[in-house]
Structure 1
Amino acid sequence: MKKVVFLLFLIFGVTIFNAQEVEKLIKNNNEFFTGKIDNSANLKVLFETISTENQEKNTYKVFGFSDVEGTKAYFEGTITFNAEKTKNSKDQSKIYDLKLSEKGNGKHNGIFSGVLTIKESSDKNQLKFEGAWTNYGNTLSFPFYFNN
């Protein structure tokens, strides 16, 4: 019985540690991730708050904002671990599904959908977000990427 309790404690402890580590990585020391949208416009993204939404599924609730060449849009969304994509990753990266919904209803408000790839390294963990941004009216759609 003691072994079972110890094993459960160990598993629970590792899960809590991993969740806190992922939250810390996404927070990026309160610094912007930088990249491009439509392969031309400068894009900056800052995650202001991250919390564990569903610990069993490794789902994180995120809030922050994007800045496209001075135009700021707040968003909320989820980042969810994708075990299947991670298993098939050639470079042993951890892969998460990403969905960030911007607040507002203008022509330039929409949803970032894609993936977060975390490549762990002893020097610096590399985070890369990529996918497509689509406005709410489905009249605009652009590829995006941003990283640390």
Structure 2
Amino acid sequence: MQRKPWPSLEEWVESEQSLQQKITQLYESDLSPEEQAREALSYLVDRYQLPLTPLDIEDREWENAGDSWYQPVSMFELIAQLKFVEPKNNDPRYLVLQSAYLIKHKLIIDLSQKLGDFLDADDLQGLGYRGQDIFEAELIPIKTGESWTDKGCTYFIKEQLQ
């Protein structure tokens, strides 16, 4: 049996003793789920040098990640993407931990099926992101000819479905 080149989310947490301790400490605390998520976010961004916002990414060029290609993405963008593809799974702790896991292991979310519910690949101009707070992050598909600023987005990236 051939092993995957990256651990599962659970395997990653279990293999990182300090991360596992931090998560346990937060989950056992009296903090609300959002406060736990904010502390986890701060910890993960600092510990693993993860980009918090799109402005924290210096180079957006696709990178070879071994068996796939990866385009650098921020925690803000990934949280918005997770909420877009899994709208019912909105626990902020899950969103933070899953986003950190994806960035750390250079994995991407396949948005093509969910985007296809809204528009054809030929109609997609790019992805707009809006929200003042990371937990309000929202992904907005922008159709060709639409203005991302008119939709209230503060960030836009030209997206090509593969």
**Structure 1 or 2: larger helix share?**
2
- TM-score, length-scaled by structure 2: 0.23
